[in-house]
Structure 1
Amino acid sequence: MAVPAPSPAVERANRMSAANMIRSLAPLVVICLLLVAWQAFRTSGEETVREVDPASTVRLAVERAGYPVPAPAGLPEGYRPTSARTDAGNAREGDAVTLQIGYLTPSGEYAGFAVSDDPGAEPVRDVLDGATDEAAVDIGGQPWQRLTTERGETALTREADGVVVVVSGSASDDELRTVAAAVTPAEG
């Protein structure tokens, strides 16, 4: 008696073994790994920090504030602005206006600048609440108060005519002093 030929469905099922699936997927996995490695190699030398131009934010704060808004100007090379924000967009005449600018310093640390005519403004409170006084320092002929924040960072602050200026961050004292020394009345 003749043995019947196996059906095509049985032959197909016999070919669907785990070893055959691995052999089929291996080239796809290798191609995917090569694409990932190529993309990582292409972007490995790129700078990941995106700079911003704070000029329009400063200009808006100057136009809406009821006080002469100071801001850092003429910082040495290596100080790169990475953020700028103000609440002046919604401000009406007589409202408090706060300006913040964040910098990446030459050493790769953060230096933040904040100014407000509201001593209770959140950016000011975030730095100064719980900070301990260290000493008064002279920076560019101006008296500044040096503090240590609850996070252990240095903060430099001064207040004049109801306007609070704060320079703080993880940057070194010298870098923070450089930012503080650059604070001058901004032009709109």
Structure 2
Amino acid sequence: MGDDGTVASTASKGRQTARDMVLSMLVILLGVGVVYLFIPHDDSLDPVRPITYDMELVTARRAAPYPIAAPVGLPETWRATSVRYRGQSDQGAVWHLGFMDPDNEYAAVEQSDGEPERFVGEVTRGAEPTGRTRTVGGREWERYEGPTYDALVLKEAEVTTVVTGTAPLDSLAQLAAALSTGEGTGKG
């Protein structure tokens, strides 16, 4: 019986394959490093890109079956980050307007003419009523707390308005106090 060299050849190929893989990874990492060095980037820039929402607000106010609320008179340190209106959804007609507050916490105005409890649960990501209220702008808003978002909720006959987010309660109340359903557009 002779040795045909199969075992030695297989072991040698295994080491060669591992070595080739390590060399390939080093070449890839070197390429990534070069790209990182030569592409300009500034980590001090604010990653939040503020938006304007005047046109969406006007359009939503024309189309919605309820008065659309948007803030008026918020300081410039509040930055709008997202806006959308859906006339038909599984939650009814839905209005969303998202902000970053002065401390870079998220806050949003959410409105719907759909089933209130289901809508509130969805937009607050499962926040629960606390049994407490907060008077904002002369109205009693229900307080909700949750693992992700807290909220102030105003349930009316034709619409449920929710001010929710990671922002502290005082910021949520500031946003709620600035809400108007008038024809004046908000900052944006």
Structure-1-length-normalised TM-score: 0.70
Amino acid at match of 2:172: L
Contact 2:107 2:167 (C-alpha < 8 Å) held by counterparts: yes
Q: For this pair of structures, how many residues does the alignment match?
A: 157
Match of 1:172 among 168, 175, 180: 168
Question: Per-residue deviation at 1:186?
Answer: 3.9
- Residue matched to 1:62: 61
Q: CA deviation at 1:65?
A: 1.3
The runs of 5 or more residues in structure 2 that have no matched partner are 1-22
Match of 2:151 among 150, 155, 173: 155
Percent of counterpart pairs with the same letter?
27
Aligned to 2:97: 101
Gaps of 5+ in 1: 1-21
Change (3 A) 1:52 1:122: farther
- Distance across 2 between alignment mates of 1:83 and 1:43: 24
Q: Structure 1 runs of 4+ off > 3 angstroms?
A: 31-35, 120-125
**Higher alpha-carbon Rg:** 1
Q: CA RMSD in A?
A: 3.0
Q: Give distance in 2, aligned partners of 1:186 and 1:35.
A: 51
C-alpha displacement at 1:176, in angstroms?
0.7
Q: Does 1:36 align with 2:36?
A: yes
1:17-71 CA-partner distances (Å, limit 9, x unpaired): xxxxx9xx99xx5x9745523435x422322111111222211211111222222
Kindly provide the amino acid, as one letter, of the partner of residue 37 in structure 2.
Answer: A
**Partner-residue secondary structure (3-state), 1:60:** helix
